[in-house]
Amino acid sequence: MAGLGTDYQRRLKKRKNAERRFRRLGIAAVSTAMLILFTLLGSIGMSALPAFTQTEVRLEVVVPTSMEGGALSDEARAALDWRQLTRTAFFDLYPEVTGRRDKRALGQLLSIGAPDAAARQLSDQPLMAGQSYAVEVPVSDDVDQLVKGLIDRNLPESDRVVSDQDLRWIERLEADGRLSRKFAIALFINGDSREPELAGIRSALVGTLMTLLVTLAVCLPLGVLTAIYLQELAPRNRVTDIIEVNINNLAAVPSIVFGLLGLAVFINFFQMPRSSPLVGGLVLALMTLPTIIIASRAALAAVPPSIRQAALGVGASPLQVIWHHVLPLALPGILTGTIIGLAQAAGETAPLLMIGMMAFVVDTPTEIVDKATVLPAQIYMWANNPERAFMARTSAAIVILIAFLLTMNAVAIYLRRRFERTW
């Protein structure tokens, strides 16, 4: 008996040691995953910070005295050459620069969007001939990178994109206090642009929202009705078994296959407009549909059979049982699965690549048949741009996309906890 007790103690100690090792391995795995996640997000966040500010220069724009006296009329305002006015105001800061080549180099320190910025700032202000008005306009991306410290001023001239002459001009602006860093509102209100300091995500963000609305309008009713039929009404036979197996298989199909399907069916066969949120939404709906069906069936199956039996016992028809009792109780799980499916669709790029939504789109789409792009595609295009300033723009767009996806997942969790019932 003593030997038996010793053997029991030995095996119990061995089992507890194994449990402790397993617990330590689990903690180490979770810690490693969190470290990798925080490192990735921290790296992206640090790279994105410069994109949220924009360097601007303060100028005094003078309205030409050759214009009509007094306040300018609308016709006179429209006739103003804002490009010439901003360049003249900038050149006035350097009266010693007179050569044509030097003036061309000096003018390149300003962004090509400077005239539009000046006109926009003074659009609501009455203009008088011969008067000067202070405006703050963006500088070029090279100047912006230099001011932010992303270009090393101590490097030899041959190793940096800013020449020594440009560097002296920029340092003079800094010494005069004319350069300032402002919040980069252009990142959110502008469409895409070849110039990094003018490029924004507005058109891509609107295109993403319109595409997801089409996806939701198609996949939610189809997915829920399909799940209700398969879970509550369909007979159990070989046909329904084949349908269920194919739905599960479709959930594992690579997303680019759905892009090829959309290209062949929606664009080539039905002649729908290429690069539009309509086609993009339909393609993403095909991809998201299996996920919603599976999640909805799981939510319906989680409703206790006693609910159905009680409703039938008081005289409800099978359809009344589904619509008045089962579906409302399963709705939190259905909504959660739908939002998670939409969040997955919002991050897809491959299927949209096949239908042409990787286009360079400046204008914001207003209809679902307009040319559009989406935020993941915008990120992909910016990442392939050779301009160094697009690196920060790319990271900023990634941060915005991650925030968008986290918000959708947070809404799914809230809906689950808010409406979920336990039995």
Domain ranges of the chain: 2-49, 51-184, 202-419
- Tokens representing 422 are 């336990």
Determine what percent of the chain is predicted with pLDDT higher than 70: 97
Task: Calculate mean pLDDT across residues 138-142.
Answer: 93
Does residue 284 have a pLDDT over 90? yes
Structure confidence at residue 353 (pLDDT): 86
80-139 pLDDT, tens digit per residue, is: 889 999 999 999 999 998 888 999 999 999 999 999 999 999 988 888 888 889 999 999
pLDDT on residue 30: 95
| H or E segment and range at residue 137 | strand 132-138
Helix (H) or strand (E) holding 58: strand 53-62
pLDDT of residue 69: 59
136 vs 55: CA distance, rounded Å: 9
Mean pLDDT of 230-257: 87
328-337 per-position pLDDT tens digit: 889 888 988 8
Q: How confident is the model at residue 4 (pLDDT cuts 50, 70, 90)?
A: low
Residue 313 makes CB contacts below 8 A (sequence gap 6+) with none
| Of residues 87, 195, 189, 191, the one with CA closest to residue 145 | 195
In DSSP terms, 138 is beta-bridged to 56
Maximum distance among all Cα pairs of the chain, rounded to whole angstroms: 116
The per-residue pLDDT for 66 is: 61
How does the average pLDDT of the chain come out, rounded?
89
2 — pLDDT class (breaks 50, 70, 90): low
In CATH, the architecture of 202-419 is Orthogonal Bundle (1.10)
User: What residue spans of 265-326 are helical by DSSP H?
Assistant: 277-301, 305-313, 318-321
In 160-226, at which residue ranges do the beta strands (DSSP E only) sit?
179-183
Q: What is the mean pLDDT of residues 206-234?
A: 93
Angle between helices 277-301 and 327-346 (to 10 degrees): 140
Mark residue 364 as left, alpha or beta (left: phi above 0; alpha: psi -120 to 50; beta: remaining): beta
Which band of pLDDT confidence, cut at 50, 70 and 90, is reported for residue 248? confident
| Residue 171 pLDDT level (bands cut at 50, 70, 90) | very high
The pLDDT of residue 36 is above 80? yes
Distance CA 174, CA 367 (A): 45
- What are the pLDDT digits (tens) for 148-166? 988 888 889 888 888 999 9
Q: Once rounded to an integer, what is the mean pLDDT over residues 62-90?
A: 81
- Does residue 288 carry a pLDDT above 60? yes
Q: Are 201 and 356 in contact (CB under 8 A)?
A: no
**Nearest CA among 262, 119, 137 for reference residue 197:** 137
pLDDT of residue 68: 53
Q: Over range 212-238, report the average pLDDT.
A: 92
Q: Which tokens in the block code for residue 35?
A: 């470290």
- Is the pLDDT assigned to residue 8 strictly greater than 90? no
B/e letters for 273-300, b = 16+ CB within 10 Å, e = fewer, are: bebbbbbbbbbbbbbbbbbbbbbbbebb
Whether the per-residue pLDDT at 208 is higher than 60: the answer is yes
The count of C-alpha atoms lying within 13 angstroms of the C-alpha of 163, restricted to the half-sphere facing its C-beta, is: 8
Average pLDDT rounded to a whole number, residues 55-71: 80
pLDDT at 71: 75
Of 243, 231, 186, nearest to 362 by C-alpha is 186
188 neighbors 201 (Cβ within 8 angstroms): yes
Q: Label residue 83 left, alpha or beta by phi (over 0 means left) and psi (-120 to 50 means alpha).
A: alpha
**pLDDT score of 362 more than 90:** no
